[in-house]
Every structure is written in C-alpha cells, then in structure tokens.
Chains A and B, each alone.
Chain A
Amino acid sequence: MIFSLTQILLVIIAYLTGLFAVAHLADRGIIPKRITHHPAVYVLSLGVFAGAMASNGVIAMAHQFGYNFLLYYLGVVLMFVLPLILLMPLLRLCRVYQLASLADVLTFRFRSPWVGSAVTVAMCITLLPLLALQIQAVAESIHILAGDNAAESFGGNRNNLLAFLFCVIITVFSILFGTRHVSSQHRNTGLVTAIAFESLVKLSAMLVLFLAAVYAVFGGIGGLEQWLLENPQTSNQLTQPIQGDDARALLLIFFAGAVCMPHIFHMAFAENNDSRGLRIATWGLPLYLLMLSLPILPVTWAGVKLGHELPMDYTGLAIGMALQSGAISTAAFVAGLSASSATIIITTLALSNMCLNHLVLPLSPLQIDKGQDIYVQLKWLRRVLITILILAGYIFFTTLNGRQSLSQLALVAFIGTLQFLPGIIATPYWPRANRTGLLVGLSGGLGIWFFSMLLPLFGEQSPELLTSIYTLLLGHSNNLSTATALVSLGVNTALFIAISLVTRRSSDEEKVASEICSMDDLARPIRRILSVYSPAEFSQRLALSLGENTAKSEVEKALSELQFSSSENRPYALRRLRARLEANLSGLLGPAVAHRIIEGRIPLLPSAHTDAEDIHLIERTLDQSQTHFTGLAADLDNLRRHHRETLDKLPIGACSISADGELLMWNQSMQRITGIEPTEVLGSLLGDISHPWGAILEGFLRGDTETVIKKEVAMDHSPSRWVDLHKTLIKEHDHRNTVIMVEDITDIELLEEELLQNERLASIGRLAAGVAHEIGNPVTGIACLAQNLEYESDPKEIRFMAQDILKQTSRVTRIVESLMNFSHTGPYLEKTKLAPANLADCVDEAIHLLALDREAKPVRFDNQCNRELLAMADSQRLLQVFINLLDNARDACDSNGQVHIRASNVGDQVQIEVEDNGSGIPQTLHSQVFEPFFTTKDPGVGTGLGLALVFSIIDDMNGKVHLTSPSSPDVKTGTRVTLYLASACYGPDFEM
C-alpha cells in the first residue's frame, strides 16, 4: 500500500500535534500530577534510549548477527540493574551540585572551563551521526511509504526536503517545551510526559508489528515454529555468536552509552532528582526494553520470509506493504517517527544546555546593566542553540547522502561517546585523576575514533597504520568498529592514567576530588571564612554579575531552600548559603560560570588557620544519611557515634571552638546549663551567642587562665548561676580547636550558703547562754529601777533612774543588734557586696559577740589592727570569718590563752593575722582543716565547717587564706591564720 506525501505529512503532523497536546496538558496540570510525577512516567521517559536504532536498526542487526542484536539493549540493562556503579553516584552529584549534563559533571570535577568546552565540542561532533541517523530513518521511511524506489530514496533532493521539514517541526517542539525552565533544577513536566508518551507509542507500534509478523505472516506461533524448523539456516544464523571480544566490546559500548549519551543522561539526571524514580527504573527500564525487543526477531524473520527488497532496517514497512495494510505500515512508520523525534528533541536539548554553559556563557554575552532579565536572555540563547544543533544534524545527514546504514551510524556515535567513560568513572572513584590526563586521554581516544570511524563515513579509508595496529593488538578481527572501540578506549584510558600520575592536580581539583570521591558519597566540606556577613550583602555582591532582581531572587530562593531567615549571620549558615547559591547558579549558568561568579563576588578570605573540615556539617550529614556502612567503615561509624553520644550526654557542659572562634560542638549539658539549643548556636561565632553566655565564654577563651572557679553568671530574668570553667587546647594536625568545659556549681553554692547559715545558727546557739545572761542582767536592773521608780517622788531621782533604764535598754539593744547583725543572711544567695570595711571595727564586733559566750575559756583577745585600715570586703561575711577564726583560736588555747589580731598593708593588699598561743595544728592535718566537716574537737563541740567557710568566704571576696602552725618555729605551739584581702579606701563621696 502506497501513501501520498500529503497523507504522510498529515500522519507526522497529527502525531506531533498529539505530542504537543500531551506536553501542554501536562504542563498546565490538566493531566493530574499523580500521573505526570508517577515513577512509571520517569521510567518510560528513559525509553528515549531506544531511538531509530531500536525501531529500525536492530532489525538489520538481528538479521546479520542473530542474538547479538540484544547487546544493544543489554548494555543499558546492565547499567540500570547495577545502579550503584555509576547511576546513583552521578544522580547524587547532579542533585547536590545542580549539574545537568556530562560536561557540567566533568567541569565541576576537574575545575576547569576548558574541560567543559572541550567535552561540549567533542560531544557535539560525536553526536552528529546519531542525529543524522534519526533524520535518515524518518526521511527514508517517508520515501518508502511514498512509493519511491530504494535507489532514489538515498539522498535525493525530495528526501532532503522532507527531512528538512521534519527537522523544522521537531525544532519548534523542542523550543516550545524544552526551554520552559531556564534552570536545570526544574523538571520539564510537559517534556518528560511527552517523551514517556512517545515511549508508549513506540512500544505499542512495535507490538502491532509483532502481532502482524506472527499472525499475519506466519499464521500464528505454531506457524513461526514450523517455519524455523523448515529453515535451519535462519536458526543457525541466530545462534552463531560473533567473536567473544566483539561481543564484549559491544556490551561495553552500549553499557557506556547509558551514561555517556547526553539524551539519556538528560532524562536520567537532569529531569529527575529523586532516587526513588531511579530505583524503580532499575527494573522498569529493563522490562520496557525487554518488551520493546521482543518483536524484533519475529519481525526480522517475517521480513526474511517475505523476501522484500528494502533494506532490512525497514522490514516493518515492508510487512505492511506486503500485507497491503495501511495500519501496519502506519504503525511501523510511527514507531520510527516516535523513536527518532524523542531522540532528536532530548539530544539537542541536552547539547544546547552544554553549549550554552560551556561555550556561550563563558564569553559573557548577557546584558546585566541594562536591567534586562537574564532568565529571558538565557531562554532565547538556548532556543537559538537548539535550532543550530538540529540544523547541524541535518547538514551532516545531507553530507552523508545516505551512504551508511543506521547501525553503522549508531556505532560511530556510541563509540565516540564511549571516550567519555574513563572521565565519568574517574569522577567518583579516582581522586588522583586530573584535567590534563582527561584532556590528553580524550584527545587520543577521539583522534583514533575520528580517523577510524568518522572519516570512513564519508567514504575515506581508515589509515593503514591504524588498521595495522588493530591487527597487531587484536588479531584479525572481523569487525573494525569493535576493534576501534577497544583500541581507542584503551589508548584513552592509558593516556588518562599515565598523564594523571605524572602531572599535578590543582588545589581546587584536589578539594573537589576529595569531596566527590570521599567514602560513601559523603562530602567533606571545608570550613572557610567568608568575606560577607549577611544575606543582604550576598544580594548586593551578586547584583554586579546577575542584575539586582535576579540576584535578590536567587538569594531568597536559596535561603528558602535552606530554611534560613534573611537575618541569618552564622558563618556556617552563610557558607551553606554560598554553596547553595553556587549550585543553583550552576543549574542556571553551568558550573564553570557559576564558580567564576561566586569566587569573584563572594570570595573566601585568606585564612590564618589551615582550612579545617566542617565537623558540624559532616556530623549532620552523617546523621541524616540513610547510609548503612559495612566492614571497617561501619566500625568507625559506630565508634564515632559512641564518642559523640558520650560527649553529648556528658553531665558537664562541653563546647568546642575552632581557632577562628566558630562553635563546632555544643552538648546537651551546655543546652541545660545555658538554655540555648545547639541548633541556635552551632556554626556561629562564640561572641554572637546570646547574653550573658557569649561574653562569658569568649572572655574565658581569650583569657590566659585555663580554669576559672565559681564564675558568677548574672542572668537577666532568673537568679544568678555559678559555674566553673575549664579549657584545653586540642591540636589535631594543623588545626587548633579549644574545648571549654562548663560545670554548673549553682547547687553546690546553694548548699554552701545553707551551711554558712547553719554555722551562724550554731554559733548563735553556742552564744545563747551568754546572751541570756547579758540580757538578763540589764533586764533585772531595769526591773529594780522600775520598782524603785514606783515609789520615788523626787523628780531628780526619777530622771537619774530613767537615764539608768535607758542605759540598760541601750545595752540590751546593742546585744540584740549584734546578734541580729550576725544572724542576718539577706536575700537568698545574696551576692557578696565588696565595699571598704574597717578591719578593727569588724574584729571588735567579733570579740564582743564572742564575749557573750560565758562558758568559753577566758581568753584575751588583743585587737592590734590599725583603726584606719580598710579592706575590700563584705563586712557581714568578714564578721563571720573573724567569729570562726577567733572562736577556733579560743578553743585551741588554755585559760591563759592570748589571741592577737594584727593587720597591715602589703602592697595593694591587706594582710590580717590571727595568731594564738594554743596547742597548734599538726603538720599532717594542714591539708584537711579547710575541708568541710573536718574537726579535731570533741563530738558535739564543733561542726567542722568553721575553717571551710572561712576559706569559702575569703575566696568569694577574691582573697586568700594561709595557715601557719606552729606560729613560731621556736615555741612549736600556736597557730597563725593569715588572710589576704584587697586594700581599700573610702571614696570622695563617703560620709562619716
């Protein structure tokens, strides 16, 4: 059955209009999201791999090589069944760094715009045969359907015109739906859905051909079996394997094609950033390809049985024509049309992105200062590039003039892109690889490919030298293509390895390589200091390269993705913002341009410290990852978790600070003590931590002392807290971090205060009898005077008696005041108030109080303190100190005991000595007497808190206590307690 040209064009237009409609409906959301975002759609969109080669070329291949045509599918199947080899690492890389093409990946990995440009140019050249293949398949199909004879269909003007028309339609479609989003971050839903639809159409058409071949040509499965039995030469040809090396080479070529071919790369990674889709594709795509390849053998045999004169590539069309069936012919034509159009659209889209990012944008063609939106400019640049690329494919096709079969063209393209395999494998697996090695290896491999594969397409002979080398290396191989593939790849790999080993990597390459090649996909971010301190500054700096609006919108987008506020100023957060901006700009402008803009506008400051890994970010990434380590990695991870847990649950607050003051660790106890969550402070500078902790920790960090005891922390809305601070320097390689331990001793302070009060009460208890006696005497006197007063009438006597009563009451008042003064504690945990205190008065007060104790030994207290001497002290607490010291001294003396209290100025300090002539304290007990509850007195006599409180109070007043016993080496008795306090004087506003 012959179709008119109009009919064929109508079929093409109807099909592509249907495709437009699907893409449009998906983009508008009319096709529900649950369908367009279903993993099955992603899997079907990967069917773009099966271009015209799958619908036409493999039939010829099956006819010639039997089962070996399956290698075309099995290479891809192998890549997807084992996604951990390359697919998952590449997906992660593309997702994290917003890379959309192979050139992006290699540019990012090897940190050179030259790599991107070279790869892009090489990719464009190697893909021209693939584009020509698709155009040729459609153009020749049109000619066959239109009834032209085979000889005419190869390269005639009419053929070229129809091919041109087809290219124009495809260009329009690519432009309309492929450039909808300028950034590779956004999935082109319409495009992906349309390509999935094309895969379904392709599969349906192939199944129609299968049914036609089996039932219409052979009369059913039985008929097919019977025909095979009757034609053993066909069966033999089927099961006659090609050379082992050739099979392996073909498998490798198509295996590499799954990641090296830009259209597959684009659909697998640029249009998908979800590992779930890729996981389903690991079995979904092999299943799809199985169904797609199932009709190939029956269709081929049907062609053999029918004995048609057309090239075997067009056996589907031949079956339709032989059966006089328009439907079968249309199905065969649509299978080729859908396969070709999908491949052309996605290939040119991917190539246009690469050309834009690596050839055009590095020339800085964007108009920034005229207020133009760069998104629109990018869109138009991409559209122009798509047009140029499809035009280039068309020119290549017309130049070839139909001289080559589809499978030959496919092999040339696949072997060309195979040369990128060493670079792709080295990206995640070989940190030592460098750009020089890559470029030299690529030049070697592509050079051989150019002379052995590309030039012969135009009728040139492969150089004899190369042919001799193939024979020398591989023996007399039947297949020049596979020999070229093996030799070019071998040379490429050898050069790549050798040059990488003998040349040095740049520091930038080293960093990225260690980041990408690190264990289990975990990046090891480096902590550097930024030159900007707020997101607003980011916008201002980037506006110089992107324009004000674009810069602002990109910064806002990155902040929102990271869930940071616009007031964020933590260095850690700003570093993440910078990295995210570079990744997002990489999706927009390519990694080379993005890197250049970020490095130029937001540079990292030259650090005085060696770059340190961002421990906090590494921990966070490790904890968030779902990675299950095995072997040594698992042991190390368990160890890390154990240590982390230990530090985190430590009952003492611990925080780690880098040399530049950035907080790297903040454990749970720190959170409990300070009330500050780790998420609020990690990654920020120590001084930026909220009041009062920031100032305290920073002051301690900068200070000389390694320990601060009883540091009071005045809280804004709660009682003060007391902490002990310790710090230690950790030197690891070239990094110097400081760990600060914060011990909350508030409870101990409260207990100490309580003990102080108890001791006061105990002292008051001991004085009670004396107090009663002291108060009793004047009260008795007052009573007597009052009785006499009752009968006294002489006014003079009454006045004298009243004066006596007043004297007695003032005596009682003084005693009561002294007691009240002593027992007074003030508010709960009142702060020690240091003020000039008169030492002599304080000692007098203590002596007076002790004198109330009538049962005590009659020891003589001798206050020799200078009346003018002042010390910086809390007089209330100092009184307690003297009470305790004098009381102890009295207890140590016999009835002839003497206690001397002397005070003198020593430099800027006051030295106070309390010396007795008592029994003294044995040398062995000196270290214990200041401990709480230690006493040498009889049970029930002393509490053991006296000297401990003396030590504590004097320490609170920033003083020191020193014990000397015996007080003099000559007499070997007596004890001298020496107190050191800061000297003081009354200020000018002091009032007497």
Chain B
Amino acid sequence: MYINRFLLLIVGVVLIFFPAIESWMTSSEIAWYRPYQLWLLIVAAAYWNQRKRYPDDL
C-alpha cells in the first residue's frame, strides 16, 4: 500500500500537537464558539481538497 507521506506528517502533527492546539484554543478569554470556527476551516479545507482527484483514488 502506498503511504502518503504528507498525510502521515499531518496525522503525526495532529497527534503530537493536539493538546497544545487545544490549550491555545482554550487559553484566553475567547468566544465559546471559537473551536467551531476552526472546525469550519477544516471542513472548508476538506471540501477544497476533495475537489481535486485523489492520487490514491479507486
């Protein structure tokens, strides 16, 4: 199976820095819906990404 290095990097970064990201998100006086804004950004990125053909598509 072809392992996409970029994806591995992203997963690694997410797993390693997840607590740090969470701390940053919740560290100061912020609007309670800030995590949702970040989440929406992820959705937009996923939408943009799926418009391209996946290199590993079926």
Given the interface contacts A428-B1, A626-B53, does A283 sit within 8 Å of B47 by beta carbon? yes
Q: Which residue of A lies closest to B58 (CB)?
A: A275
Q: Which residue of A lies closest to B14 (CB)?
A: A78
Q: Which residues, 34 to 58 on B, are CB-close (under 8 Å) to A?
A: 35-36, 39-40, 42-47, 49-50, 53-58
A320 within 8 A of B: no
Given the interface contacts A67-B22, A95-B58, A630-B55, does A248 sit within 8 Å of B2 by beta carbon? no
Stretch from A237-245, A350-358, A529-537, A656-664 forming part of the interface with B: A237-245
Q: Which residues of A contact B2 (CB under 8 A)?
A: 519-521, 633
Q: Which residue of B lies closest to A628 (CB)?
A: B55
A647 within 8 A of B: no
A633 to B42, CA, bound (A): 30
B14 to chain A, nearest CB (A): 7
Given the interface contacts A84-B54, A88-B54, A294-B36, does A67 sit within 8 Å of B25 by beta carbon? yes
Q: Which residues of A contact B57 (CB under 8 A)?
A: 88, 275, 279, 626-627
Mask: chain A, 224-259; 1 = CB below 8 Å from B; 0 = not: 000010000001001111001001100110000000
B11 touches A82 (CB 8 A): yes
Number of A residues with CB within 8 Å of any CB on chain B: 53
Q: Which of B3, B27, B32, B54 contacts A297 (CB 8 A)?
A: B32
A85 touches B7 (CB 8 A): yes
A92 touches B58 (CB 8 A): yes
A17 to B44, CA, bound (A): 37
Mask: chain A, 279-298; 1 = CB below 8 Å from B; 0 = not: 11011001100100110010
Q: Which residue of A lies closest to B55 (CB)?
A: A628
Chain B, interface SS category: helix
A247 touches B55 (CB 8 A): no
Given the interface contacts A280-B50, A521-B56, A627-B55, does A81 sit within 8 Å of B18 by beta carbon? no
A518 within 8 A of B: yes
Mask: chain A, 516-548; 1 = CB below 8 Å from B; 0 = not: 111111000000000000000000000000000
A77 to B11, CA, bound (A): 12
A633 to chain B, nearest CB (A): 7
A70 touches B35 (CB 8 A): yes
* Chain B contact patch, size range: 35 or more
Q: Which residues of B contact A326 (CB under 8 A)?
A: none
B43 to chain A, nearest CB (A): 5
Given the interface contacts A85-B11, A228-B32, A428-B1, does A286 sit within 8 Å of B42 by beta carbon? yes
A513 to chain B, nearest CB (A): 10
A290 touches B15 (CB 8 A): no
Q: Which residue of A lies closest to B26 (CB)?
A: A239
Q: Which residues, 141 to 191 on A, are CB-close (under 8 Å) to B?
A: none
Q: Which residues of B contact A95 (CB under 8 A)?
A: 58
A519 to B56, CA, bound (A): 10
Q: Which residues, 574 to 633 on A, are CB-close (under 8 Å) to B?
A: 626-630, 633
Q: Which residues of B contact A282 (CB under 8 A)?
A: 46, 49-50
A88 touches B56 (CB 8 A): yes
B26 touches A520 (CB 8 A): no
B54 to chain A, nearest CB (A): 6
* Most chain B beta carbons < 10 A, residue from A70, A275, A279, A629: A279
Q: Which residues of A contact B43 (CB under 8 A)?
A: 283, 286-287, 290
B55 touches A279 (CB 8 A): no
B46 touches A283 (CB 8 A): yes
B26 touches A247 (CB 8 A): no
Q: Which residue of B lies closest to A428 (CB)?
A: B1
A595 to B18, CA, bound (A): 44
Q: Which residue of B lies closest to A429 (CB)?
A: B1
A290 to B32, CA, bound (A): 14
Mask: chain A, 78-90; 1 = CB below 8 Å from B; 0 = not: 1011111100110
A248 to B33, CA, bound (A): 22
Given the interface contacts A239-B26, A290-B39, A290-B40, does A84 sit within 8 Å of B19 by beta carbon? no
B5 to chain A, nearest CB (A): 9
Q: Which residue of A lies closest to B34 (CB)?
A: A67
A132 to B58, CA, bound (A): 37
A82 to B43, CA, bound (A): 11
Known: A67-B26, A239-B27, A516-B1. 9 other contacts (CB 8 A): A67-B25, A77-B42, A80-B46, A81-B42, A85-B4, A89-B1, A240-B26, A279-B50, A519-B2
Binding site for B on A (CB under 8 A): 66-67, 70, 74, 77-78, 80-85, 88-89, 91-92, 95, 228, 235, 238-241, 244, 247-248, 251-252, 275, 279-280, 282-283, 286-287, 290, 293-294, 297, 428-429, 516-521, 626-630, 633
Listed by A's residue number, 25 A-B pairs whose Cβ atoms lie within 8 Å are: A81-B45, A83-B54, A85-B11, A240-B26, A241-B19, A241-B22, A241-B23, A247-B22, A248-B15, A251-B18, A275-B58, A279-B50, A279-B54, A282-B46, A282-B50, A283-B49, A287-B43, A294-B33, A297-B32, A518-B1, A519-B2, A521-B1, A521-B56, A627-B55, A628-B53
The 4 closest A-B pairs by CB, nearest first: A244-B19, A239-B26, A283-B46, A283-B47
